[in-house]
Amino acid sequence: MTFGNFTGANTILGAIGTGGLEQSFAVPTRCVTCDAEVRTRGTYCPPCAERESKSLRELYLERASATLPEPYPKATVHPALRAVAADWKRAHGNLVLLGASGTGKTTAMILLAWRILHLAQTRDIGVDDVRWAAGIRFMTAAELGKARIEHALGKSPPPLVRTAERATLLLLDNLGAEKRDDTDIAEVLNERYAACGKLPTVVSTELTRAKLEQRYGVATTRRMMTGRVVDLHSEGAP
Ligand SMILES: Nc1ncnc2c1ncn2[C@@H]1O[C@H](COP(=O)(O)OP(=O)(O)OP(=O)(O)O)[C@@H](O)[C@H]1O
Ligand SMILES: [Mg+2]
Ligand SMILES: [Zn+2]
């Protein structure tokens, strides 16, 4: 019985409570939202469960799409970036896009995120996968850096930093463009890495690998690059 997993059903179950007796004798009772007969009190009949899961899915995904920028429709995107945007999966882990300005890095990462949201919207996937897709967040390194410096010392972390640490998939655009003394972005990256592949990060940067190592350290750069790397610096311009 899959629909018992949905938050809605669980809340209702929690509120009404199901006695052990009713469970074992499976006394016929009514669906939570209609008159259809169901076997367990506080559950949905199959059509209602289906409807509930759909609206939950829409709610989650709408929230996520509201935070994602629209891609510039006429953007030119390097084929290697286009390919990775069309193919990246959760299981691939981190993704780093290295390339000069104008190669299409930002567009590629936005397309990647929209693709995942679109899949979550159109495929019949479990609620955990829907939640995962809905947890994708996009931000620039400059925004993240600014959030930290504008937040008074000694307070809890700024909301944007928490968002960066918790997003199921973080798209961090233009790493290296933040002010040098602004932030400790390496901390966010390391925090996400410490979740053992559960919190992948997509990073775009104009810096070369050597410059990343200089700025964020060899260890952080290596962790960032544990998944896939598209290095347009070594391939030459499009
Ligand atoms: N708002 C826009 N107006 C006009 N052209 C755009 C716009 N956004 C993107 N483009 C075009 O699409 C191409 C790819 O843009 P994109 O921003 O994805 O590249 P990028 O690699 O992220 O560059 P940068 O390092 O400067 O951020 C650019 O070369 C640019 O010509
Ligand atoms: Mg960009
Ligand atoms: Zn019903």
CA angle 145, 78, 208 (to 5 degrees): 45
In a domain, residue 10? The reply is: no
CA of 101 to the centre of ligand 3 (A): 54
Ligand 1 pocket check: which of 97, 107, 206 to mutate, most ligand atoms within 8 Å of Cβ?
107
**169 and 92 belong to one structural domain:** yes
* Residue of minimum CA distance from atom 8 in ligand 1: 72
The CATH number covering residue 157 comes to 3.40.50.300
Which residues constitute the domain of residue 201?
Answer: 67-235
How many residues are given for the chain? Answer: 238
In a domain, residue 17? The reply is: no
**117 and 206 belong to one structural domain:** yes
CA distance 145 to 202: 17
How, if at all, do strands 169-175 and 29-30 pair?
Answer: unpaired
Residue ranges with CB less than 5 Å from ion ligand 3: 31, 34, 36, 45, 48
Atom of ligand 1 nearest to the CA of 97: 21
CA distance 35 to 213: 64
Q: Do 196 and 165 meet the contact criterion of CB atoms below 8 Å apart? A: no
The two counts, helices (H) then strands (E), for the chain are: 12, 7
CA distance 32 to 235: 59
**47 and 120 belong to one structural domain:** no
Q: What is the pLDDT along the chain (238 residues), one digit of tens a residue?
A: 333 344 443 444 344 444 444 445 556 789 988 999 998 888 889 998 888 877 777 877 887 888 899 999 899 999 999 999 999 999 999 999 999 999 999 999 999 999 998 888 777 677 778 888 889 999 999 999 888 777 666 667 788 999 999 999 999 999 999 987 666 788 899 999 998 888 999 999 999 999 999 999 999 999 999 999 999 998 644 4
pLDDT of residue 106: 97
**34 and 79 belong to one structural domain:** no
pLDDT of residue 25: 55
Total domains in the chain come to 2
**Dihedral sign for Cα atoms in the order 17, 22, 26, 27:** negative
Nearest-Å Rg of the Cα atoms of the chain is 22
Atom of ligand 1 nearest to the CA of 72: 8
In angstroms, what CA-CA distances link 29 with 6, 9, 22, 33, 180?
20, 15, 10, 12, 64
**107 and 43 belong to one structural domain:** no
In a domain, residue 5? The reply is: no
CA of 122 to the centre of ligand 3 (A): 23
Q: Do 98 and 231 meet the contact criterion of CB atoms below 8 Å apart? A: yes
